[in-house]
A and B are shown apart, each in its own frame.
Chain A
């Protein structure tokens, strides 16, 4: 079996350069590639285009990259938790493309699946549709949306093996499986890395073919945005 293991996050991200397009998995702070984000901060690469559903919060996740002005453009669906993002956007310092969430997910899926464009009803008749081709199918209007690909896709999984196979846990799955398919180089960071053969092939969410580099993350903070509990 081809071994996708790299020593650590430094080796995994060694050739990330200024101006690259990056995908970062996660929904809110759930399932984000924490170790890769920290390494991007350390590398200080800039003029990045980041594709991610959200932009983190002010002091965690992609919010940290925004603080250091490493991001030139953001492609996202919802950025409401990040005041610094909103400030940079309203002041014009940051270029932003907001996509409907399902459109974003499908554009990434299409990028990985070799489908250059597709039609979706989401956003028809809104400013999302401005300048885009629209077409009627069965009496309903649809917008043409195009695929998204990235130089690097950074995904976070629960378990992975040396062959690059991945299993996600809970709603930390979210955008990670599609992003894993759409990176020229996909880097997977996992909580537990095991030898090939230890994961049940029936339970694999992302087959190893999509993953070029895999490593076990040094630590995971897994910050919770809205800790809501009930009485036992």
Chain B
């Protein structure tokens, strides 16, 4: 069984360690906040200018002046702070944020990431993604392993316009968990019931398989 979006988020939440400042991208990464284990204190950074992002508001707490980078209404927490976009990206470029989790359209075996543009079709802009991937100490990507037509999104080289070079450290897809090494994608875990062969077939880039590959534990 391939992992669904929530299971991908749940697996990524295991990578979050106590005391980290974490930036979560839009989409699956946002869901990671729901699965951070009890007893682990992390501070979520929202690049539009908030440290210490709290849960969604109740109906009577909704404040148009308090949103996250996905434009969703949110709340603050005791100890939160608010700042300008320049200060926010100072935190990001200055490597004060410990972990960045974001989505991708393609990742190459060298850790290049493409997630901001499909020429002639989709131009949404890079938002904060280029700043984040250029500076983050640790980048984990959440993505689907293949496109709807079955083609691999884990490639030797990205075909779409690049967001950042050699920056992705770990990838969690619906099929597996991989680490980016200087020799290619190293397979760490596979989704329950998904075989190494299935993963191999779905991966265009170099896949390194060493020994028995355990199943993801959720």
- Residues of chain A having any CB pair with chain B under 8 Å: 27-31, 53, 76-81, 86, 89-90, 96, 98, 100-106, 108-109, 120-128, 158, 169-178, 205, 222-232
Q: In the complex, which residues of chain B have a beta carbon less than 8 angstroms from the beta carbon of A123? A: 126, 130, 134
Q: In the complex, which residues of chain A have a beta carbon less than 8 angstroms from the beta carbon of B128? A: 77, 100-102
Task: Pick the contact of A90: B71, B123, B163 (CB < 8 A).
Answer: B123
B57 within 8 Å of A (CB atoms): yes
A222 to B65, CA, bound (A): 8
Q: In the complex, which residues of chain A have a beta carbon less than 8 angstroms from the beta carbon of B135? A: 121-122
Contact call B126/A78, Cβ cutoff below 8 A: yes
In residues 110-135 of chain B, which contact A (Cβ within 8 Å)? 120-131, 134-135
Contact call A126/B48, Cβ cutoff below 8 A: no
* Given A105-B85, A106-B86, A228-B56, residue A171 in contact with residue B65 (CB < 8 A): yes
Q: From residue B114, how far is it (CB to closest CB) to chain A in Å?
A: 9
Q: From residue B69, how far is it (CB to closest CB) to chain A in Å?
A: 8
Contact call A27/B134, Cβ cutoff below 8 A: no
B62 within 8 Å of A (CB atoms): yes
Q: From residue B159, how far is it (CB to closest CB) to chain A in Å?
A: 14
A207 to B162, CA, bound (A): 40
15 example contacts (A-B, Cβ-Cβ < 8 A) are as follows A27-B49, A30-B65, A77-B125, A80-B127, A89-B123, A100-B134, A102-B130, A106-B86, A122-B130, A122-B134, A126-B162, A175-B85, A226-B73, A228-B56, A228-B74
Contact call B164/A28, Cβ cutoff below 8 A: no
Contact call B84/A173, Cβ cutoff below 8 A: yes
B99 within 8 Å of A (CB atoms): no
Contact call B58/A174, Cβ cutoff below 8 A: no
B89 within 8 Å of A (CB atoms): yes
Contact call A121/B134, Cβ cutoff below 8 A: yes
Task: Pick the contact of A232: B59, B65, B70, B83 (CB < 8 A).
Answer: B59
Q: In the complex, which residues of chain A have a beta carbon less than 8 angstroms from the beta carbon of B164? A: 125-126
* Given A109-B86, A120-B134, A228-B56, residue A86 in contact with residue B123 (CB < 8 A): yes
Q: From residue A213, how far is it (CB to closest CB) to chain B in Å?
A: 21
Most buried by B among A30, A103, A175: A30
B46 within 8 Å of A (CB atoms): yes
A98 to B122, CA, bound (A): 13
Q: From residue A135, how far is it (CB to closest CB) to chain B in Å?
A: 14
Q: From residue B47, how far is it (CB to closest CB) to chain A in Å?
A: 7
Supply 5 further A-B pairs (C-beta < 8 A) apart from A86-B124, A126-B164: A101-B89, A125-B165, A173-B83, A226-B67, A227-B62
For A31, the closest partner residue in chain B by CB is: B65
For A80, the closest partner residue in chain B by CB is: B124
Q: In the complex, which residues of chain B have a beta carbon less than 8 angstroms from the beta carbon of A78? A: 124-127
Q: In the complex, which residues of chain A have a beta carbon less than 8 angstroms from the beta carbon of B86? A: 105-106, 108-109, 177-178
Q: In the complex, which residues of chain A have a beta carbon less than 8 angstroms from the beta carbon of B50? A: 171
